[in-house]
């Protein structure tokens, strides 16, 4: 297992990012493995949707853990799980949940700083200090090698036209605090401004994760900004589901 941790961490090279085409179950994990993936990552919205649930931890924890175990078992690659907010704002409970996730064989996870209960109302973030406490507790529970990808939702909550230096400064402040608390990586989904992305990559001493999306910057441009990881979030699942639904409509039309 230590080799899997080390090989996954080594894939994160600024300027030469590892590409993670997010999966949702064992079958989709095997598909990306056949396509040449060097590691496998799930997407929480994709996993939830594939099981008939909404995102934001509506998927029962037991099912999230069982699905993670099946993905790990299905491929001979490092597997990291999108674990949302670790199913609790409480540091001790979140840490216990991530320890259970690590026991499935997953070598890492994403941890977001958005308050999960706020998704349906006024979206807000945990305070920087509270999120740092959660990260520190998870690090202690999951062990020193577990790849904890600390995600900030600053740029998901704010409209793209409002992404500016002030928000980049806020992201850097969080990135520094999360690094000090024991995070392994820093995830900034929703940010597509290459200048701000490059600034964050330079200021935060963690490999930075960019989330690709239709119409966003090219992988080459993102790599030039210093990103070390490119993931694809829910978009592969949405693409597959649309193709399936289109084929079903054609078949059912006769």
Structural domain range at position 12: 2-253
For the record, the structure tokens of 176 come out as: 């520094």
Could you give phi then psi for residue 110, rounded to 5 degrees?
-90, 145
Report the number of distinct structural domains present in the chain: 1
- pLDDT, one tens digit per residue, over 24-60 is 999 999 999 999 999 999 999 999 999 999 999 999 9
To the nearest 10 degrees (0 to 180), the angle between helices 165-181 and 194-203 is: 30
CATH at residue 96: 3.20.20.60
pLDDT in tens, 191-221: 999 999 999 999 999 999 999 999 999 999 9
How far the first Cα of the chain sits from its last, in Å, is 51
In the predicted model, what is the mean pLDDT of residues 230-242?
98
Residue 65 pLDDT: 98
pLDDT of residue 121: 65
Whole-number pLDDT of residue 117: 77
d(CA 147, CA 110): 9
Joined tokens for residue 34: 């056949």
Task: Work out the pLDDT band at 178, boundaries 50, 70, 90.
Answer: very high
Query: What phi and psi, each to the nearest 5 degrees, are found at residue 10?
Result: -70, -20
């Amino acid at each position: 297992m230590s080799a899997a941790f080390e090989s996954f961490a080594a894939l994160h090279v600024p300027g030469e990012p590892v590409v993670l085409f997010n999966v949702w179950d064992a079958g989709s994990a095997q598909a990306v493995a056949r396509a040449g993936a060097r590691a496998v990552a799930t997407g929480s919205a994709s996993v939830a949707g594939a099981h008939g649930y909404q995102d934001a931890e509506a998927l029962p924890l037991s099912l999230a853990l069982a699905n993670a175990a099946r993905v790990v078992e299905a491929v001979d690659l490092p597997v990291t799980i999108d674990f949302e907010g670790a199913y609790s704002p409480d540091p001790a409970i979140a840490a216990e949940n991530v320890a259970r996730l690590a026991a499935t064989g997953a070598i890492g996870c994403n941890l977001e700083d958005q308050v999960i209960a706020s998704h349906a109302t006024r979206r807000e973030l945990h305070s920087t200090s509270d999120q740092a406490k959660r990260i520190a507790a998870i690090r202690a529970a999951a062990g020193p090698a577990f790849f904890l990808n600390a995600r900030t939702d600053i740029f998901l909550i704010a409209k793209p036209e409002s992404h500016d230096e002030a928000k980049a400064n806020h992201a850097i402040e969080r990135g520094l605090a999360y690094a000090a608390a024991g995070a392994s990586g820093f995830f900034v989904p929703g940010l597509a401004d290459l200048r701000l992305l490059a600034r964050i990559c330079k200021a935060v001493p963690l490999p930075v994760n960019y989330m690709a999306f239709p119409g966003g910057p090219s992988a080459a441009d993102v790599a030039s900004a210093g990103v070390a990881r490119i993931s694809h979030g829910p978009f592969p699942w949405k693409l597959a589901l649309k193709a399936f639904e289109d084929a079903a409509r054609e078949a059912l039309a006769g």
